Amino acid sequence: MKFTTAYDIIAHILGLEKIPDKDNLYLNPKNSKRYYRTKWGFEPEEKHNLRIVVLKLEHKLEKLMQRVEELSFDNDTLIRKKEGLAKQLRISHDYSKEARREKRFISKLLKEVLDKNVALEKKFLRLENHRVNIENQLENLKATKANLLNQYNALIEKNSQQKKQLQELQKVIAGLKEKVGQ
């Protein structure tokens, strides 16, 4: 490398390479930045070329505008999602209110059914007790009937014995009347 000026030595130390065909313009191969040589040293190209600064700012502005559009789209999407969620929340709230109403109605019906069930159980117990009482009375009546039948049979037998005795007595009386009448 040929050093013609002190600036060439400084550029070499800084790692800058001269761009051929361009006076006073150097390139840093590490970061691809361009530098102008001035009487105070090397300054970035943007400082001397406002068109580059404007292009960079326009590029930044385009990126920012694109980002604004993306954020606007995201915002619109989020707003639609929020509206959808709010609608779902209203629907859920309405459903919840209806479910609570139905729950109260069902609870009321269930209480009525349970009350009726308790009343029916009590009535069943009363009827069961009544049935047991009737069965006991029936057993007592059967026992009484059996006793009465035994007494009746005993009376019939006694009656037939008394008839036999009466007939024998009548025979004896008739025999005595014949003996007396003879």
The answer on 81 and 169 residing in a single domain is yes
- Does some domain include residue 59? yes
63 and 78 both lie in a single domain: no
- Say yes or no: 89 and 142 in one domain: yes
- State whether 174 and 90 are in the same domain: yes
Query: Domain range for residue 63?
Result: 6-69
pLDDT digits (tens, 9 = 90+) for 31-69: 888 877 777 777 777 776 677 778 888 999 999 999 999
For 138-162, the pLDDT digits (tens) are 999 999 999 999 999 999 998 989 9
Over the stretch 95-129, which tens digit does the pLDDT of each residue have? 999 999 999 999 999 999 999 999 999 999 999 99
Rg value, the chain, Cα:
65
What's the domain count of the chain?
2
The structure's pTM equals 0.38
> Residue 102 has what DSSP assignment?
H
- Coil, helix or strand at residue 13: helix
Question: Pairing mode, if any, of strands 33-38 and 25-28?
Answer: antiparallel
Instruction: Indicate whether 21 and 53 sit together in one domain.
Output: yes
Distance CA 11, CA 174 (A): 183
Q: Answer yes or no: do 63 and 104 share one domain.
A: no
Question: What is the per-residue pLDDT for 15?
Answer: 80
